[in-house]
Amino acid sequence: IYTKYYGICMFPLYQVNAKPLVIAHRGGAGLWPENTLFALQEAAKLGADLSEIDIHMTRDGVLVAIHDESIDRTTNAKGLVQDLTLAELKKLDAGYRWTNDEGRTFPFRGQGIKIPSLNEIFAAFPKQVINIEIKQNDPPIVAALRELINQYNKTKQVLVSAFNSRTMKVVRRLCPNIATAGTEAEMDRFSKLSKLFLTRPFLLSAAALEVPYEMVTGHFVKAAHKKNIRVDAWTVNEVEDMERLLALEVDGILTDFPDRMLSLVRKTESVQPK
């Protein structure tokens, strides 16, 4: 639904009366092995507007999609991402530990699901918007990210986020044409000011505020929209919470279960008067 904006602006900006984006958190971590090419492809087939991924860098300087600094939680091995080469990571089973029944079954083991490089993701999704969170702060990986974004002409199709203020400062300096999300410090300050109705003089370089769903209030959303800043809430997995946030007119919802969010959006659309 946002394709028409690709040529004239950055990542989908706040639009009055726009449909909320269904954002598959880590590609839909509740449905498939997180941060994998398989997950992103399945989320796209399902109808999610975009996926959110996390990135680290390997020992040989390749950006890869993985949430943790180690491979312990999601693969059949142990170790730090930055201590391993891409070739070593590619030998691992990224679906090994995924389970949705508390460990009774592991349906994605041995299915050939690997940790993907960011190159692979960009190549697989040349036109799709991608939400990228920088997890690694030291050594810095912003310059490598900028190079890849430029190489694949993704400048207008990414939203880059980082909780770390120093990392985000580098992103905004090196990548002035790329949309960014607010840092943790910026979110906290904006939230406090919104409760006091004092956000008007607050200067914010972000195109979006990605906030924990518990933080979202009507005041917060309205204050952000007055500054033409979108509000995306995370990580929202219960339908009841999704309904509350939609009523508050958030612009996007990051969820491990994009199927639930899509069902709710379609249900809402079907009952609206035409």
Q: Is 33's pLDDT higher than 70?
A: yes
> Of 56, 67, 219, 225, which residue is the catalytic one?
67
Q: How far is 115 from 77, CA to CA, in rounded Å?
A: 12
What is the model's pLDDT at position 181? 97
Q: How far is 121 from 115, CA to CA, in rounded Å?
A: 11
Q: Is 6's pLDDT higher than 50?
A: no
Reference 55, options 145, 123, 129, 122; nearest CA is: 145
Share of the chain above pLDDT 90, in %: 87
Which runs of E-coded beta strand occur in the chain? 21-25, 50-57, 63-65, 130-134, 158-161, 179-180, 208-212, 230-234, 252-255
Per DSSP, the chain holds a count of helices (H) and strands (E) of 9, 9
pLDDT digit string, tens, across residues 247-266: 999 999 999 999 999 999 98
Instruction: Determine the distance from the C-alpha atom of residue 207 to the mean position of all C-alpha atoms in its chain, rounded to a whole number.
Output: 14
What is the model's pLDDT at position 1? 34
Q: Is 267's pLDDT higher than 90?
A: no
Q: How far is 228 from 54, CA to CA, in rounded Å?
A: 26
DSSP string, 59-80: TTS-EEE-SSSBSTTTSSS-SB
pLDDT digit string, tens, across residues 134-144: 999 999 999 99
Mapped onto helix, strand or coil, the DSSP state of residue 133 is strand
Q: How far is 24 from 257, CA to CA, in rounded Å?
A: 7
Q: What are phi and psi of 96, to 5 degrees?
A: -60, -40
What is the model's pLDDT at position 270? 73
What is the model's pLDDT at position 17? 85
What is the model's pLDDT at position 274? 56
Of the pLDDT bands very low, low, confident and very high (cuts 50, 70, 90), residue 3 is very low
Q: How far is 180 from 186, CA to CA, in rounded Å?
A: 12
Residue 170: its H or E element? helix 165-174
Residue type, 72: D
Share of the chain above pLDDT 70, in %: 95
pLDDT digit string, tens, across residues 173-205: 999 999 999 999 999 999 999 999 889 888 889
> Of 25, 56, 219, 225, which residue is the catalytic one?
25
Catalytic site includes residue 219:
no
Of the pLDDT bands very low, low, confident and very high (cuts 50, 70, 90), residue 241 is very high
Q: How far is 274 from 268, CA to CA, in rounded Å?
A: 12
Residues 5, 89 contacting (CB under 8 angstroms)? no
